[in-house]
Homo-oligomer: A and B are copies of this chain.
Amino acid sequence: TVSRDLDESLLQSFMDQVESAKIQENLKTLASQPHMATTEGDKELVKLLLNRWQDPQTGLDSASEDVYSVFLSFPDPQSPNSVTVVDNNNAIFSTRRSEKNVTADQAHAEVVQPYAAYAPPGNPQGRLVYANQGKRSDYQELVTMGINLNGTIAITRYGGAGRAAKAVNGAEFGVAGVVVYTDPGDINDGQASEEKTYPNSWYMPPSGVERGSYNEYFGDLLTPYYPAKGNMLLGRAGQGRAGSGIPPIPTQPIGFEDAKMLICNLAGSVAPTAWQGSLGCSYNVGPGFRTAGQFPNTSNVQVNVYNQRVIKNSSNVMGFIRGSEEPDRYVLYGNHRDSWVHGAIDPSSGTAVMLEITRVLGKMLKEGKWRPRRSIIFGSWGAEEFGLIGSTEYTEEFYSKLRARSVAYINVDISVFANATLRAQGTPPAQSVIFAATKQVQTPASPSVSVYDNWKNHFNRISPSYGVVPSIGSLGAGSDYASFIHYLGITSMDLAYTYDRNKTSARIYPAYHTAFDTFDYANRFIDPGFTSHQAVARTAGNVLLRLADSLILPLNVSDYGEKLDELYNVAAQGDFLANLIANKISLDPLKVALGRFKSAAADFNQRIKKLKEEDPLQIRMVNDQIMLLERAFLNPQAFPNKYHYSHVIWASKSSNQATFPGLADAYTSALETKDWDQVQKHLTIVVQAVDSAASTLEAVA
């Protein structure tokens, strides 16, 4: 049995047992009330997860609750946040304190008022300016237009820059407070009326407000690199990234109904065309209000933030299935549990899928029909919405053993954004297992079309090795995979069903992070019948089973070569190359390293084919090489100022050059600073990482 391989009939049986009705039921339960991190609703879901995973008929081997004591930020129920227009010390206008009640859900007592988590309290007042998306370049543009930003309040729309960035950038220019809203042009395909929005369609109602976390780093901000847990907490006082990680100035999100009152009354010149939106007026940039508008042109805008810093206990719920042959190899699967409000789609659509997968696997396990070759660990993460906190603390707590033993991490957060096609993000080795799985799953629309083929129709690219294939996106830091890939270097992937981009340009599904993300919304507008949920459950479960049961890990290492080439090619042409040459920086060493990597990977795949299946140590050897390939790209010295980012290929970057992140940022910065030594440094770091990856795959002795 040490050489037993994946059982295709079991795989089929798993998929057959995945029921859309069960997922729907799960979602109804999970989204029945708000369950923001650490609230009563969240605690009830902790119990639900434990119950399910400890169920004698359909549970796992074991489950446990892991509690971390983490730094969160909540609005003050006694002093609601607001944005007001102030004239002669009188508030003559105030934004709504809550979203409009349209389906009773919005009136639930536990609906949290809209706020920007971690934004500092304060009541700055000033002339209002419209700063587009709050990018550095947006503020710069206002300055170029002759506007003095000092002491102003900037209203910005979601998109373009991260939430925190809008405040960080603004503060650099002297802005005193930031207001953020969602433009109907960005989220509603332009629709802005009550008639055309939820509950009458999937679009965001005029009162809808996207909540969110405005911190700069992921993980508990007070305990970087160590778990916010029991023994460690005494150290917290001395350890925070003191004063860092939280926005520098008060910030508050509002709905577009309120934003319209502010923006459509602005004075000043007309904003650039690209800045215009769908509020139904011409956007001026300010500063201040125009004469003959709704407000006296002497009036200011005030941002009133009363957020409170709190330390609260947040739980991860962990579920385990012990591997039979290789218990010390872990396949990880997770999603967060906490929402902003009811969170039907974010994250409960993913949790509903995870619970259906664990129900079917648990049943197979308890019936004695199956036990995986490798161990499987499920994580229901806490406090993701505040900054991927539960998953990051978990990786910090178990850094050594996760790094040594983890085969891959599968993340399914929002499982269905829309019901058109699969969307996958991941690192290159994940491609092969995702392709294998999706070829075996039918689309909801037609049993004769595979998820793979449908996906290929929506998102594709031409692969030098395979021709036209579905295109897998890169992992940023948008969900709980972040710490697994960036900090631990574990091959990771994120799966979901998503939009037909011919049908909507919505930045994300319109009820995202609002009080309208409810079971009713999901059931009527996102995935009626829950067949897309079912397809995601089958796909993710199929991937999970392949990773857990295949004798040889189903991760094709040679697929990294294509991605590395692609990143290399961006630097090896045009202005980028010309500037390197002008500064005596040669890409040749990188080219040599890439050649070495590709040849090592090809040889490795040849050696696998010749392996004797009876020799368990030979099998283990190649599996270790596959598993550790991703780890070879880690360099803890590469980005000393970027918390938790060690992966040389996927680290965050601010440059828009689509090459290796350290190289891209150093290059973009050198164009101004002339610091080409930094460019050479980051090139060297990439060469070393690629060499190291090649070494991992080359014959071991």
Contact = CB atoms under 8 A, between A and B. Distances in A.
Interface of A: 2, 224-227, 230-232, 234-235, 237-239, 320, 322-323, 325-328, 330, 375, 397-401, 404-405, 585-586, 588-590, 592-593, 615-617, 620-621, 624-625, 628, 631-632, 634-637, 640, 676-678, 680-681, 683-685, 687-688, 691-693, 695-696, 700-701
A76 B684 CA distance: 33
A534 to B, nearest CB: 29
A566 to B, nearest CB: 20
Contacts of A701: 320, 322-323, 327-328, 330, 375
Contacts of A693: 400
Given A235-B683, A327-B701, A700-B328, A692 B636 contact: no
Contact of A238 (B227, B615, B677, B695): B677
Contacts of A585: 234
Contacts of A226: 684-685, 688
16 contacts: A226-B688, A227-B688, A231-B593, A232-B589, A234-B585, A235-B680, A237-B677, A238-B678, A238-B681, A239-B677, A328-B624, A400-B631, A400-B634, A401-B632, A405-B700, A636-B637
Contact of A688 (B232, B328, B628): B232
A684 B617 contact: no
A592 B231 contact: yes
Contacts of A398: 692, 695
Given A615-B2, A631-B404, A640-B640, A684 B328 contact: no
Contacts of A589: 230-232, 234
A410 B18 CA distance: 55
A227 B328 CA distance: 33
A3 to B, nearest CB: 10
Nearest to A375: B701
A325 B619 CA distance: 12
Residue among A231, A323, A621 with the highest chain B CB neighbour number at 10 A: A231
Contacts of A399: 692
Contacts of A400: 628, 631-632, 634, 692-693, 695-696
A612 to B, nearest CB: 12
Given A231-B592, A592-B231, A696 B621 contact: no
A637 B700 contact: no
A330 B621 CA distance: 13
Given A238-B680, A239-B681, A700 B227 contact: no
Given A231-B593, A586-B234, A684-B239, A617 B326 contact: yes
